[in-house]
Amino acid sequence: MPSMMIHCSLKPDDTAADQTASIQQAIDHVHEQGGGIVAIPPGRWTSGTVYLRSKVELHLERGAELRATAEEDLFPVLCATPYGNLPGVIRALVVADRVHDIAITGAGVLHGNGDSELWGDDVLKEENNFRPALLFMRDCRQILLRDIRLHYSAFWTCHLLRCEDVLIDAIDLRTHHRRINTDGIDPDGCRNVRIRGCTIDSTDDAICLKSTEGDVCEDIIVSDCVLTSRCCALKIGTEGVGTIRRVLMHHCLIRGSTMGVALYQKDGSTYEDISVVDCTMVCNDHFPVFIDVTPRDYRSPTVGRIRRVLLADLRVFGPGRCYLRGHPDSPLSQITMRGLRWLVSGPEEWATAQAPTGARRVNLDPERIDDAQKPYHLLITHAQDCRIQDVFIDEERSEGVGDRGAVWARSCQAVSVAVDHRLRSSPTGQWLAQVDCTDSSFNFVEREACDQSHALSHDT
């Protein structure tokens, strides 16, 4: 394949220089020759938006840094942000639009120039509306991202909109720890996406599956990744206008995160056939595992649904609890949890806990019951035909856990729960509290310190 090496007379550390035109010319030249490689040598190269073309690989050699310039005029507006969220429009350093067979590779760095704090009320200031993404790819197919370092995006780091056949392999992604809206990877209405062997440390969600424009998002596999997020490591929604299905996350490590896995159904679609298997989660907030059906506006005539979810062979460490919450008009269906090992690592202030909304712009039913403050390890509400088995909850080595029972269940039908536990105490000695449950069974085995045990069974 033809290739072209970019050569510039500028010093590598000259951050004031704009290399947009020279980089774009190289990409266009290789494309016109039928495809090939554009290699960026070591040094700092400052640029505005550059567009990838079909059959072109952008290769950043070790020591090369392609950095977003601070000049807003060099970043054309690509489209509006979903739901009118700030900053209102999407711009990006590297754009691929309706092209195919493209790649970004190498041990160099794509730097979004978002390495400063942006938090709180400062987000609302007009001077902070210029926040380009790092990568924006729309209606593309056959995409490869390999070995590249995606650092300090000012907005979403890697937004894939309606893309197909994507491999993201062994990338290193990081954002500033106090910069809002800096998601890691956002497959949005995509098909056949594989994310493997990546290290992601993001302020916002590390990996977030979306359907902002109603397109089906399906056949997504996340494997062998290390994920850290101040929000959620793997999030589905909240923007889920279209169906999201056939998702597998396996053999991943989630560490230092607020939440591990969260499914937010807010926009009337269906999430189905979601599996999280053989993962370790170290989380520090109320709900490491959270599944929820709550319309974005409680007056909406359409309520979405979540069904056929598998959570298997998980190891969870942290002070929080598991919350599975359906809707009165759309209960969770066919949720299976098995092989869960939950080590409770310390105290949690559940008296002030609230179910997370996953989004800022919501209009919640003022009459809806929130069970987030119930002092039980596993909260299940509005669910049917669900199986929770081979679950072990261990408080034995935890200090200040407080009085927690094992399971709180409300408005459940045909739900089966089997929990082994080593709980220090429970409210009034109760492992189970249930309200309005039918055709359900709850079985508990209390493990003694000497490894003896005795069983408790509750059927409704």
DSSP states along 157-218: SEEEES-EEEEEES-EEE--TTBTT--SEEEES-EEEEEES-EEEESS-SEEEEETTS--EE
User: Partners of 271 in the beta sheet?
Assistant: 244, 306
Q: What is the pLDDT of residues 419-437, one digit of tens each?
A: 988 876 565 557 789 999 9
Buried b (16+ CB within 10 A) or exposed e, 148-166: bbbbbbbbbbbbbbbbbbb
Q: Is the pLDDT of residue 456 over 50?
A: no
User: Which residue would you say has higher pLDDT here, 118 or 171?
Assistant: 171
Q: What is the pLDDT of residue 455?
A: 47
Average pLDDT taken over every residue of the chain: 90
pLDDT of residue 47 exceeding 50: yes
State mean pLDDT over 81-107.
93
Region 39-58: mean pLDDT is 95
Residue 88 has pLDDT above 50, yes or no: yes
Cα 150–Cα 174–Cα 46 angle in degrees, nearest 5: 40
Q: What is the pLDDT of residue 119?
A: 67
Average pLDDT score over residue span 304-323: 97
How far apart CA 98 and CA 19 sit, in angstroms, is 24
Tokens representing 13 are 């550390």
Band of pLDDT at residue 11, cut at 50, 70 and 90: very low
Kindly tell me the burial class for residue 88, based on how many C-beta atoms sit within 10 Å of its own C-beta (0-12, 13-18, 19 or more).
exposed
pLDDT band for position 84 (cuts 50, 70, 90): confident
